[in-house]
Amino acid sequence: MTETALSAALHRRNDARPPVWMMRQAGRYHSHYQLLKRYNDFMRLCREPQLAAETALGPIHDFNFDAAILFSDLLFPLEAMGMGLVYDPGPKLDFHLQTLVDVEKLAGGAERATHMQFQADAVRLTRQRLRPDKGLIGFVGGPFTLYVYAAAGSHEKAQHAVAGLTNGIYDAFNAKLLDLLAGNMALQSRAGAECIALFDTAAGEIDAAMYGRHVVPVLADLLARFRRLDPATPVTYYSRGTDASYWDQLAGLPFQCLGIDWRQDLGAALERYADRWAIQGNVDPEWLHLPADQLELRLREYFERIRALPAALRRGWICGLGHGVLQRTPEANVRRFVSLQREIFG
Ligand code: CP3
């Protein structure tokens, strides 16, 4: 089987057109998703592998993205640990971690990863139905982001979770989480995900020094555990609100691709890190709300700037957004993004 553009880019050897996909490409902005949601709630779309595969494939068929992403959510490990989980429509847990007694109530460890078997089944079915030249991405949440949800209920409330970083709650949570999460990643990679994305959306809510102290060692631990289960599948690490002062601290960790948000300069990130990591990103999701002519101008300028870089810097670029597709994004703009990217890099 020939290598997908996604896989070639993850290994920084893609001399063809850079692959393009978007976080949240299967979501509320898309009529295909809206139709599926009329008859099934979000949980059912995640938990029924046939439905999850259908949901993930919609944007591939409609927009011709180069990669699909598992349709699921990153909070299921918290449910597996016993925190309950409903979407209403945002996520709600039965309780938040406020004391060590709350953490003691949680289940954890490698065996609990079997709770996420439905994700492995969804990956397998998605792969079966996906054209062989399209890539397939699995994902989990970063430990810090999962901790912030467990402690505070949403990543906007990260400040409420900061005390737990030093009073033992975060450490006790991670002691239960890490084998479960590494097992969750391995379930997805063994089922056929070519890459596992670690979405650490909340990481930029703390400063770079705290990030170095509290996030980096836990990521290193998680990745070491995953590597014992799966030495080879590439991992993409995405965080939001971070910059080089955070990323420089990740040198040497066994992940292959760095996802950057829209506030950072893609050219600068490629120049600084292209010999170390593939780089994923980073168009501002808000651009997709612009009138068509303005979107066209901005995207042309963005794409042409990257095209003008030496080919060696572009071999590991994975084209997409700096965060997820926003809720009321017009489909026509997503379609134009993908077709223009093909025209310019084709
Ligand atoms: O197409 C894809 O990218 C795959 C599916 C996917 C979903 N969530 C489906 C979803 C992915 C990759 C995620 C990741 C995710 N989930 C993140 C990290 C990325 C990010 O956006 O920062 C986070 C923080 C979550 C947690 C989560 N799930 C929240 C905060 C919410 C509610 C608010 C929101 O942004 O939608 C969800 C629900 C959710 N996850 C929906 C979808 C399609 C919406 C469900 C609905 O109401 O229809």
Q: How far is the CA of 73 from the centre of ligand 1 (A)?
A: 6
Q: What is the pLDDT of residue 155?
A: 78
Q: How far is the CA of 135 from the centre of ligand 1 (A)?
A: 20
Predicted structure pTM score = 0.97
- Nearest-CA residue for ligand 1 atom 2 is 24
CA separation for the pair 1, 22 (Å, rounded): 25
Pocket of ligand 1 (CB under 6 A): 23-28, 37, 42, 69, 71, 73-75, 87, 89-91, 139, 199, 201, 324
Q: What is the pLDDT of residues 26-65, one digit of tens each?
A: 999 999 999 999 999 999 999 999 999 999 999 999 999 9
Pocket of ligand 1, candidates 20, 24, 148: which has the most ligand atoms within 8 Å of its Cβ, to mutate?
Answer: 24
Q: How far is the CA of 304 from the centre of ligand 1 (A)?
A: 31
- Nearest-CA residue for ligand 1 atom 8 is 73
Ligand 1 atom nearest the C-alpha of 90 is 32
Q: What is the pLDDT of residues 264-298, one digit of tens each?
A: 999 999 999 999 999 999 999 999 999 999 999 99
